[in-house]
Structure 1
Amino acid sequence: MELSDKVALITGSTGGIGAETARLMAAAGAEVVVSGRNLGRGAATVRSITDAGGRARFVAADLTDPTAIRHLAEEAGDVDVLVNNAAIFPGAATLDQAPDALDEALAANVRAPYLLTAALAPAMIAKGSGSIVNVSTMAARIGLPGLSVYSATKAALESLTRTWAAEFSPAGVRVNTVAPGPTRTDMVLATVGEEGAEQFAKTTVLGRLANPREIAEVILFLASDRASYLTGATIAADAGRTAV
């Protein structure tokens, strides 16, 4: 299996794209560290993996808290794959955006992956191998009303991908981004509703929402040796929305 003997930490993996990524990586042979804020959802993700014969454990972490980030890094230990997937999605017009929500999104979506990567990358560099996959959004590349904060934080994450690739890849650590389009996740449906999500999906070339597993497959590819010549890249998994 392509991730045999690898350890993968996936933030925000108690549901949606993160949980599907955890299941796929476990099926590919990795020992998966599931992380998120909800203990019940984390336990359910771990159970879905272990019931299928995989290896997984849960580490609770609120990524708006730097102390929790340090604890997560310590508990995860040396990892071969880091997926920075967790994010806060504050949907509001710029003139209505609450400053507290802005600060929280910056903490979770930019500071957390920055601190976690800084904590875990040294061991990858020492081994001369590793893969970091950041999860962005198509909204980082196109203007969408009401997503000023979310899109800005994800654009920052894409910029970090390029910088980290320049800094880490000479030592054998690849860093890439997946930028999903509209995906059927609880977060999306809670924000825009079923009808809103379907209307959004119609703006893509394929005209439909992604299943979280479709995005997880791209993340798995980037984490694996099949993507051994890819670093510093942002892969648009958005049904052609940003291309056409």
Structure 2
Amino acid sequence: MSQISSDRFSGLRVFVAGASQGIGKASSLLFAKEGAKVFGVARNTSGLDSLLAELPGVGHRMETCDLSDKNSVQAILSTIRDWGIPDIVLANYHSRKPAKRLIRSDWDEELSSSMGYLHLLFPLCLPEQRAKGFGRWIGVSSLVSEFAGPGQSSYSMEKKSLEALFRTLALEESKYGITANTVLPGFVDTPGTRENYSEERFQELEGLSVLGRAARPEEIASVIGFLASPEASYITGTNLHATGGAHLNWPLRNKIGEN
């Protein structure tokens, strides 16, 4: 059985949205450990500083950025250009509101925060990726894009939209050697989920997995690493489930609600 190279991302540059914690942090660490340079963005400056101190290797860059703010994103584009155009882009950002609390401005904000920054990254990254004949775009979706639940209206909307966007990207860019896929995690044990749910509710939710537990961020990062790797060169336009089997056993309607 062939072994996965420990430097399979050597010489590559990776942009990670939502890098300060959870899946974004775990993915940043994976890419850096396997030879890549990482450009991480998030709103949490202290989290980014902590991540930078943990990343092996040199040449990494962390920038505080509110991805829901177009001006904030535009302000870092020149920094990204000077650092080096990313070969791999990880779209990992979300917000969450129930339908009854959504006002008109929320619709613009939700879609802008989850995908608006990508429309600024496309013209920055795609021309050079096309010239190289290589690019990897990976989006972090969610099981709620397929199974609705109370309090998840904006979250499920933006995740389903992200999947559609990346399928279209896969179709349009395939002839240039660029792939685009999304990962669909189930319940993941991150600082965000610990903050949002009581211990009782947390245990109830992780029980939705047929494996009987929540995923570790590192497990989802491994799936992301696979999709970015040479081993996944023939995979594009796919929404890859990493749910611990929760999609087989998902009584979501009665499990996830407002706290």
Q: Please classify the TM superposition score into its range, dividing by the shorter chain length.
A: over 0.9
**What 5-or-longer segments of structure 2 have no aligned partner?**
1-6, 250-259
1:53 shift after superposition = 3.9
Q: State how far apart, in whole Å, the 2-side matches of 1:197 and 1:73 are.
A: 38
Give the structure 2 partner of residue 215 of structure 1.
220
Note closer, same or farther for the CA distance 1:60–1:144 as it changes in structure 2 (3 Å cut): same
- The answer to whether residue 203 in structure 2 is matched with residue 198 in structure 1 is yes
4+ aligned runs moved over 3 Å, structure 1: 52-55, 96-103
1:110 shift after superposition = 2.4
Aligned to 1:167, which of 161, 172, 180? 172
Give the structure 2 partner of residue 33 of structure 1.
39
1:21 shift after superposition = 0.3
The CA deviation string for residues 98-122 of structure 1, in whole angstroms up to 9 with x for no partner, is 4444432221112223332343222
Q: Which moved more, 1:231-240 or 1:106-115?
A: 106-115
- The answer to whether residue 66 in structure 2 is matched with residue 59 in structure 1 is no
Aligned to 1:3, which of 2, 9, 18? 9
1:38 shift after superposition = 1.9
Give the structure 1 partner of residue 232 of structure 2.
227
Note closer, same or farther for the CA distance 1:43–1:221 as it changes in structure 2 (3 Å cut): same
Give the structure 2 partner of residue 72 of structure 1.
76
Q: Number of paired residues?
A: 240
TM-score by length of 1: 0.92
**Preserved contact between residue 35 and residue 57 of structure 2 (Cα < 8 Å):** no
Q: State how far apart, in whole Å, the 2-side matches of 1:142 and 1:53 are.
A: 40
Give the structure 2 partner of residue 179 of structure 1.
184
Q: State how far apart, in whole Å, the 2-side matches of 1:23 and 1:243 are.
A: 31
Q: State how far apart, in whole Å, the 2-side matches of 1:132 and 1:116 are.
A: 11
Note closer, same or farther for the CA distance 1:48–1:242 as it changes in structure 2 (3 Å cut): same
Q: State how far apart, in whole Å, the 1-side matches of 2:184 and 2:65 are.
A: 24
Q: State how far apart, in whole Å, the 1-side matches of 2:202 and 2:125 are.
A: 35
Note closer, same or farther for the CA distance 1:113–1:188 as it changes in structure 2 (3 Å cut): farther
Note closer, same or farther for the CA distance 1:214–1:82 as it changes in structure 2 (3 Å cut): same
**Preserved contact between residue 69 and residue 116 of structure 1 (Cα < 8 Å):** no
**What 5-or-longer segments of structure 1 have no aligned partner?**
none
Paired residue secondary structure (1:189): helix
Query: Residue type matched to 1:18 in 2?
Result: G
Give the fraction of aligned pairs with identical amino acids, expressed as a percent.
Answer: 32
Q: State how far apart, in whole Å, the 2-side matches of 1:191 and 1:123 are.
A: 40
- The answer to whether residue 90 in structure 2 is matched with residue 83 in structure 1 is yes
TM-score by length of 2: 0.87
1:23 shift after superposition = 0.4
